[in-house]
Amino acid sequence: MDKLPSATHAGAPISYADLEQVGDVLGLFTLKQPLELEIGCGRGDFLLAYAARKPNVNFVGVERKLVIARKAASKVARAGLTNVRIVHGEIEYLVERYLPAHAFQAIHCYFPDPWPKKRHAKRRLFKTGAPQIFDSLLTPDGWFHLRTDVAAYFDTILVLFEACPTFQRAAPPDELVDCLTGFERRFLAEGKPIYRASFKKMSSS
Ligand SMILES: C[S@@+](CC[C@H](N)C(=O)[O-])C[C@H]1O[C@@H](n2cnc3c(N)ncnc32)[C@H](O)[C@@H]1O
């Protein structure tokens, strides 16, 4: 039985208070399976497609906007996906408190907000030190998967990962390629280019 039956079965997102009860995100799942993380999952379209294909993997989707997290959690519940938890929160705070080190076999981050103005640069998810934080969350053979429509941000992120020797760019697993996100569908319909990169962790820790 789920440790948080009311939250998950009602299709509500997991809160910090819920996480406090169970300790960390591992405590959200009764069935212990490999774990993956999506940062900024939005309305959950990617997880809906991908988690349905991978029932033997547990997924945590993190979304900072409550109204959007509620939409994602409700879709997950309607789809009957018992291997997905939507957490309402800021990824930075969750990393500090509720995401265990070396616990995730993959991290997905699709269409992160680019914050193009210089005065907003601090709000970007990808800045100096970010790949090292992802490294600390991943299992030794873990993956980081990225997609964006912003060419300049994509280039910046590639440079950040190049400076982190634990990661090597690699072709993503086949089953990932055609699982689209909500923003991606919209951008593709508008004919916008999409930039994708996957990085494989090569270290032993
Ligand atoms: C451009 S949207 C992309 C949503 C989804 N990944 C997609 O491709 O359809 C970026 C999402 O990331 C969320 N987000 C941005 N910064 C975040 C943070 N620090 N922690 C958690 N979520 C964040 C935003 O609220 C937003 O829903």
Name the pLDDT band for 175 (thresholds 50, 70, 90).
very high
Non-local (6+) Cβ contacts of 167 within 8 A are 131, 135, 144, 161, 199, 200, 201, 202
pLDDT given at position 90: 98
Check if 2 is active-site. Answer: no
Name the pLDDT band for 1 (thresholds 50, 70, 90).
very low
What is the distance in A from the centroid of ligand 1 to the CA of 204? 30
Kindly report, residue by residue over 117-146, the tens digit of the pLDDT: 888 888 999 999 999 999 999 999 999 999
Write the CA distances from 135 to 5, 50, 75, 88, integer angstroms.
Answer: 32, 22, 30, 23
**Mutation to probe ligand 1, out of 65, 107, 179 (largest number of atoms < 8 A from CB):** 65
Average pLDDT over residues 153-177: 96
What is the distance in A from the centroid of ligand 1 to the CA of 112? 6
pLDDT given at position 130: 97
Active-site residue, from 2, 18, 45, 113: 113
**% of the chain residues with pLDDT over 70:** 94
What is the distance in A from the centroid of ligand 1 to the CA of 58? 20
Domain 5-201 CATH assignment equals 3.30.1600.10 = no
pLDDT given at position 28: 97
Name the pLDDT band for 203 (thresholds 50, 70, 90).
confident
Exposure class string for 70-95: b at 16+ Cβ within 10 A, else e: bbbbbbbbebebbbbbbbbbebeebb
Tell me which residue of 94, 91, 86, 117 sits closest to 12, measured CA to CA: 86
Q: Which atom of ligand 1 is nearest to the CA of 90?
A: 20
Kindly report, residue by residue over 22-61, the tens digit of the pLDDT: 999 999 999 999 999 999 999 999 999 999 999 999 999 9
Task: Give the residue extent of every domain in the chain.
Answer: 5-201
203 or 14, which is more confident: 14
pLDDT given at position 4: 60
